[in-house]
Amino acid sequence: MAKLNLENKWILITGASGGLGKSIARYLAQNEKANLVLSARRIEQLQQLKEEIETSSNSKVLYIQTDLSKRDDVEKLFHEAVKIADIDAIINNAGITYYGLTDINHFETFETIIDVNMKALMWLTLRFLEYFKEKGNGAILNITSEAGLIPTPYQTVYSASKHAAQVFTEAIRAENRKSGVIISSFAPGGIATEMLTKSGLDKKHGMDSPFNMNPDVVARLAVKSFKKKKFISVPGFLNKLTVCVARFLPRRFIAFSSERVYRPL
């Protein structure tokens, strides 16, 4: 199977203002010579990333300020993206989490997590799938999570949203396997990004923990698996081992073990 050629292609990346999205944008520009449409809430970071990439590469960069927790913004992102560029691929990377005891007092936060991690990803996947079918080609990469493959206490809603995103991506790929549109998923474990510090996870597993991979390394692996059109890819030996072992152990044991790993200090 021929690899995806991303050179001079226009790729839309959500959640591109920091973390893995930022690293993916840099890698695509510097190593794949792709052109980018960047999306995130923080416009100053998008402007800075645009300047950085265009200064260090020949890639063209456009950006759209978007809050994916708002349905109107999700729709606006699609319409503006296809208006300003001939989009060839989308990487649904945006995601948020909450770390702590799951209780009713944080339900509004949980709703936002579901809106961003699941609903926005599903809507953009379906909208761009339709767009790419009409165009005759295209590719979609959904960034899910190892937490979508293994129940993760104290990040329960994040884990549930990523599980939904994972099985949705697998099923929608199966439905459209003869459409000519590539649909892939990439399920990383912990990554040493600002998501850890914002959620407080860094207090349990620090940025230098073996549980957390370098975002630039993860970005490279994400793009490589996307180019190979992989059904699903889990980066990192420890993550691969965890997912593999979990398939053969009782789910109760996996959940209880995961609770001990993530139990707040």
In order of start, what are the domains of the chain with their CATH numbers?
10-262 (3.40.50.720)
* Measured distance CA(192)–CA(111) in Å, rounded: 25
Active site residue 99: no
Question: Residue 42: its pLDDT value, please?
Answer: 94
Question: Residue 205: its pLDDT value, please?
Answer: 75
Average pLDDT for runs of 10 along the chain of length 265: 92 96 98 97 96 96 97 97 98 95 96 98 98 96 97 96 98 95 96 82 75 93 97 94 92 92 87
List, for residues 218-261, the tens digit of each pLDDT value.
Answer: 999 999 999 999 999 999 999 999 999 999 999 999 999 999 98
Asked whether the CA dihedral 230, 232, 236, 242 is positive or negative, the reply is: negative
Question: Residue 195: its pLDDT value, please?
Answer: 81
Question: Residue 161: its pLDDT value, please?
Answer: 98
Q: How far apart, in Å, are the Cα atoms of 213 and each of 142, 161, 206? A: 19, 21, 11
Q: pTM higher than 0.75 for the full model? A: yes
Which residue among the candidates 9, 50, 119, 162 is catalytic per the annotation? Answer: 162
Which residue among the candidates 27, 63, 99, 158 is catalytic per the annotation? Answer: 158
Question: Residue 151: its pLDDT value, please?
Answer: 94
Active site residue 162: yes
95: left (phi over 0), alpha (psi -120 to 50) or beta: beta
Contact 114, 161 (CB under 8 A): yes
